[in-house]
């Protein structure tokens, strides 16, 4: 019986993890036709179907689920092999891949990474701006910055800081609608919020105000877009004070009221911290973000 090709097993594991050919292709820096061909070849070699193709994506069959445990073990072992190889030598050069939320990637990281590259010009930095969770072990990212405590097992997680939040509006909005004095006053204002994410709704609930999704006149889970809508004067919105207080296009209308804070966690796989360039970037971020 012919043995499966390693590339086919990698593609199978990626599609199983991400749930669709398109998502797996993005994560693997591959193409949907390539992944589809690998899956078909693997199914032909094994003589069984591994996925059910459904409108919502790729769903594992029973045989596929049985094979996934072995494929995951092989993928993790291969990742560790590559990590051990990269760990030799102490030169601070080469590529380090970061993933961070859209807001952190767009507004907080640029000056920090600029100073980092000036100090270590041999580094090449890749940033994935994403609010999803990347698999650190399989090198989808070397380091992750997240606004929640990571739940992925076998990773180093460091709470580097808390990012206080504020309520902001553009001067043009305040000229038209006035300035709220309290959070309760927001109920008579035009408010910008998230679509599916419950973060803002939960924040109101924590402070004794019950609001629903229809409370927001503009909704999007793209936090950068929400921020640009605040700048445009559409309505009042929420943002990190580290970002909002530095933006001359908006005014913090919440004053010194406690609007809450977002924790910032720095995460890496333990093996990756043994690689000098990854360890240096990790320590740099911990220092400058903290």
More confident residue, 64 or 114: 114
Write out the residue limits of the CATH 3.40.190.10 domain(s) in the chain.
96-153+264-289, 163-262
CATH of 6-86, one of 3.40.50.970, 1.10.3720.10, 3.20.20.70, 1.10.10.10: 1.10.10.10
Residue 152's CB is within 10 A of a number of other CB atoms, namely 15
What pLDDT does 141 receive? 81
In tens, the pLDDT along 232-259 reads 999 999 999 999 999 999 999 998 888 8
Q: pLDDT confidence of 273, banded at 50, 70, 90?
A: low
What is the DSSP code string of 15-30? HHHHSSHHHHHHHHT-
Pairing relationship of beta strands 192-193 and 218-219 according to DSSP bridges: parallel
Q: For residue range 48-102, list pLDDT tens digits in order.
A: 898 888 877 888 898 888 888 777 766 665 555 554 445 444 568 888 989 998 9
Top-level class of domain 163-262: alpha beta
Task: Kindly tell me if the per-residue pLDDT of 230 is higher than 90.
Answer: yes
- Other Cβ atoms less than 10 A from the Cβ of 184: the count is 12
In the chain, CATH 1.10.10.10 sits at: 6-86
Task: Tell me the average pLDDT across 116-122.
Answer: 93
Is pTM beyond 0.85? Reply is no
For domain 96-153+264-289, give the fold.
Answer: D-Maltodextrin-Binding Protein; domain 2 (3.40.190)
Which residues, in sequence order, are CB contacts of 178 under 8 Å at separation 6+? none
Highest mean pLDDT among 39-43, 93-97, 193-197, 248-252: 248-252
């Amino acid at each position: 019986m012919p043995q499966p090709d390693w590339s086919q097993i990698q593609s199978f594991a990626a599609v199983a993890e991400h749930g669709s050919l398109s998502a797996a292709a993005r994560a693997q820096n591959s193409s949907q036709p390539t992944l589809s061909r690998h899956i078909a070849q693997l199914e032909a070699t094994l003589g069984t179907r591994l996925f059910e193709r459904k409108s919502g994506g790729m769903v594992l069959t029973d045989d596929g689920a049985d094979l996934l445990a072995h494929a995951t073990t092989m993928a993790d072992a291969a990742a560790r092999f590559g990590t051990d190889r990269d760990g030799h030598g102490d030169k601070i050069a080469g590529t380090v891949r970061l993933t961070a939320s859209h807001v952190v990637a767009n507004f907080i990281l640029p000056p920090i990474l600029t100073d980092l590259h000036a100090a270590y010009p041999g580094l090449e930095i890749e940033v994935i701006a994403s609010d999803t969770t990347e698999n650190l072990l399989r090198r989808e990212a070397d380091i992750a910055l997240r606004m929640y405590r990571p739940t992925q097992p076998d990773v180093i997680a460091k709470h580097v800081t808390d990012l206080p939040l504020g309520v902001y509006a553009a001067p043009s909005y305040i000229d038209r609608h006035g300035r709220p004095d309290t959070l309760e006053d927001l109920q008579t204002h035009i408010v910008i919020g998230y679509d599916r994410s419950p973060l803002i709704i939960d924040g109101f609930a924590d402070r004794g105000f019950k609001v629903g999704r229809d409370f927001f006149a503009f909704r999007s889970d793209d936090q950068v877009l929400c921020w640009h809508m605040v700048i445009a004067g559409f309505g009042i919105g929420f943002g990190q004070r580290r970002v909002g207080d530095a933006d001359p296009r908006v005014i913090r209308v919440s004053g010194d009221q406690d609007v809450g804070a977002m924790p910032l966690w720095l995460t890496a796989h333990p093996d990756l911290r043994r690689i000098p360039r990854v360890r240096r970037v990790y320590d740099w971020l911990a220092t400058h973000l903290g």
